Structure 1
Amino acid sequence: MPACSASSPAPGRGRRPAASTVEPPGRPARTVFAPWDDPAAVPLVLFDRVTKRYGSETAVAELTLAVHEREFFALLGPSGCGKSTLMRLLAGFETPSEGRVLLAGEDLAGVPPHLRPVNMMFQSYALFPHMSVEKNVAFGLEMEGRPRDEIGQRVGDALRMVKLETLAGRKPHQLSGGQRQRVALARALVKRPKVLLLDEPLGALDRKLREETQFELMALQERLGLTFIIVTHDQDEAMTMATRIAVMDKGRIAQVGTPPVVYEAPASRYVAGFIGDINLVEGRVSAVEAGRVTVATAAGNLVVAGGAESVSVGQAVAVAWRPEKTRIVRAEEAISNGRATMAGTVHDVGYLGGRTTYHVEAAGLKLKAAVANAARSVERPVAAGDAVKLAVAPDALILLVR
């Protein structure tokens, strides 16, 4: 059976059912969950060499992707990359031009949307304004002709899941944005789907409520043991909630991996630039020795730890590193040996509360350094116009050949 793009064994958000429970302080311990690393694991959802065309336009191109049971999987990418098309193909609102979509090993070709064990929650929520919360949640079950007692029990359970049981009699216009989002979620969950599809579900919420709801969705998905697939263009949202992320570009998968893997080891220039903030400079390999690669760039020679097996001398490559892994000091200060050092001038400074970002011009390049504001102080050790040095450890540098 075709497999999705390879990912590193580094864990993403912790899950079931192994014994390890190492977690950062302040979070409840969760067991490690990584079925994608098991060659014998059978995916719950499989897009098998799927292509979708609209006339002369190709929205999805020969894409193969596997999602496992109990994953919180994110399809991440810019508008027009094909992520919503994939969601609609799984839901049955679109038909593949080529390839197959399988759910639990069953080819979904010819199965209409209402007979598929999936449910979709839209960004707009699409609630009926004339119906109460309770009636909105019950609507799908009533259309199926379920017994009245069963409907009452399941609707009550769904409302308790999302903590809206006391608002069952209200109409949508009497609810906040966050409450309407929960109604839509309860309506999707009440039908007990194998897979819940979330299409930009938090886009209508303000930032603080969106962040709170992300963790509520994570806890709910963990408790119910369902498979969630979310479509989003918000990288922070995907990094926070997902067990794995598929980064999409022009109808293809650019990389699949856990959030730490996609962030720390991007597979290409595109992924590196799309996920988070990053410094990226072009250069050529000048030496390969002892497992390290020396790259000649406009910023000087950068020595990268690792990647020696994938390059040769003279090859054009890029070197990338994250701003928060960059040390910045005044030009006269010393920096410990072993780090790549670049001299430059601070062009701008951005104070963002939890961190300060420095924009530095160095050898014609525009680079960034981000420093955590650990001390309670408004004084900055470096200011705009200062001559500075930027330093990066070899193991913080990322070698990119694509």
Structure 2
Amino acid sequence: MEPPERPARGAFAPWDEPAAQPLVVFDGVTKRFGAETAVSDLTLAVYEREFFALLGPSGCGKSTLMRMLAGFETPSAGRVLLAGQDLAGLPPHVRPVNMMFQSYALFPHMSVEKNIAFGLEMDGRPRDEVGARVAEALRMVKLEGLAGRRPHQLSGGQRQRVALARALVKRPKLLLLDEPLGALDRKLREETQFELMALQERLGLTFIIVTHDQDEAMTMATRIAVMDKGRLAQVGTPPVIYEAPATRHVAGFIGEINLVEGTVSGCDGRRVTVATAVGDLTVADAVDSVAVGQMVAVAWRPEKTRIVRGGEAISNGRAVISGTVHDIGYLGGRTTYHVDVSGLRLKAAVANAARSIERPLGTGEAVKLAVAPDALLLLVR
């Protein structure tokens, strides 16, 4: 029987429903390795049928958190619960969880087909079911013609896909993915992201993925937990994480951003003016309460920045910043300008919507950057 279809991503938000019960709960979890604290008093809930991403730089604790859920590490303090059950003392092989590691961990003496089928055969599944599910997994990772090969006859990316297929074929209640697409080339990586999303929705599984790749998390996840030094910096949907980062760390880690330090010089409700090295910047809708004289940061995304030549006029209502083009990056779909302003380097991204454009800006040219007040973010942490 096929599971019911999950609602469209925009309508899927069990974390906003007071009556919804999470599938996974990390309750005040701490993990220490000797004197080092890898995870510190962390509380987090993941709901059934989410595609949840743990995102952060190396050493932030995201893989340790996943390993505690899988049963390969034991919390130093706190609890890990799955479907309401405390997992303390429960060994990995009896948890309804499957994990794909960063390493391939394939059986070298077995064919691709046998590697993928191994877990199903150990569970005593009927031969016809094993064959059908292995064939489906091979199609998903685009290895149909390689079923009879051994791991040493495959490229690194192909071996990674075999490991992914082996993790998916058992259709666990909860699938843990530790940097699963790292060995794939860019095009195949992007294709596999959408295939994983489609499979997760079709089968009604819950996926938790560990990644340091912001684009991967933003593409695949229903929600993202951004981690920083063993703690949660922010948890939210991709649009919230991108458009309303809670801290300087989140703002700087997710995508490109301009960030300027300054001092609050005026407050009018949620409208806050900040004196900075690039001039006064007025934030139209500040989330955090601040006081005059407080040190804060103002941030905005490069794509929300208009750039024009220094002699051109800009409509009123925008912050206008004068500078000089330092460097230009042409990326096909967009062009990014690096602009020197009062000892800082700011960025403006312009979509290349037409094939033929007017005379482009050049390095060393005087320019103006314009940013609307509602595009500015006020960050106090």
1:382 counterpart SS class = coil
Alignment partner, residue 260 of structure 2:
281
Runs of at least 5 residues in structure 1 that lack an aligned partner in the other structure: 1-14, 22-29
TM-score (norm 2): 0.93
- The answer on whether the counterparts of 2:97 and 2:172 sit within 8 Å (CA) in structure 1 is yes
1:48–1:101 contact (8 Å) kept in structure 2: yes
What is the match of residue 172 of structure 2?
193
The residue type paired with residue 273 of structure 1 is: G
Determine if the alignment matches structure 1 residue 304 to structure 2 residue 294: no
Checking the alignment, whether the CA contact within 8 Å between 1:178 and 1:209 is kept in structure 2 is no
**5 Å matches for 1:3-402?**
16-17=6-7, 32-146=11-125, 148=127, 151-152=130-131, 154-159=133-138, 162=141, 164-307=143-286, 310-377=289-356, 380-402=359-381
How does the TM-score come out when normalised to structure 1?
0.89
What 5-or-longer segments of structure 2 have no aligned partner?
none
Alpha-carbon distance, 1:350 to partner: 1.4
Percent identity between the two aligned chains: 83
The count of residues paired between Structure 1 and Structure 2 equals: 377
Contact 1:16 1:32 in 2 (8 A): no
Q: Secondary structure at the match of 1:281?
A: strand
Superposed displacement of residue 381, structure 1: 2.6
For the structure 1 residues 333 and 64, does the alpha-carbon distance in structure 2 shift closer, same or farther, using more than 3 Å as the test? same
What is the identity, as a one-letter code, of the residue corresponding to 2:16?
A: D
SS of the residue aligned with 2:11? coil
The answer to whether the Cα contact below 8 Å between 1:284 and 1:297 also exists between their aligned partners in 2 is: yes
Q: For the aligned residues, what is the CA RMSD? A: 2.0
CA distance in 2, matches of 1:351, 1:148: 54
Deviation at 1:160, TM superposition (A): 5.0
Cα distance in 2, alignment partners of residues 47 and 358 from structure 1: 43
Query: For residue 16 of structure 1, what is the amino acid of its counterpart?
Result: R
Deviations 1:222-251 (A, max 9, x none): 211111111111111111111111000000
Partner AA of 1:298 in structure 2: A
State how far apart, in whole Å, the 1-side matches of 2:142 and 2:308 are. 50
- Please name the residue that 1:8 is paired with: none
Equivalent position amino acid for 1:42 in 2: Q
Report the Cα distance in structure 2 between the residues aligned to 1:162 and 1:222, rounded to whole angstroms: 17
Q: State the Cα distance separating 1:96 from its structure 2 match.
A: 0.3
Partner amino acid, structure 1, of 2:21: V
Amino acid at match of 1:312: A
What do residues 10-33 of structure 1 show as CA deviations (whole Å, max 9, x unaligned)? xxxxx933xxx6xxxxxxxx6621
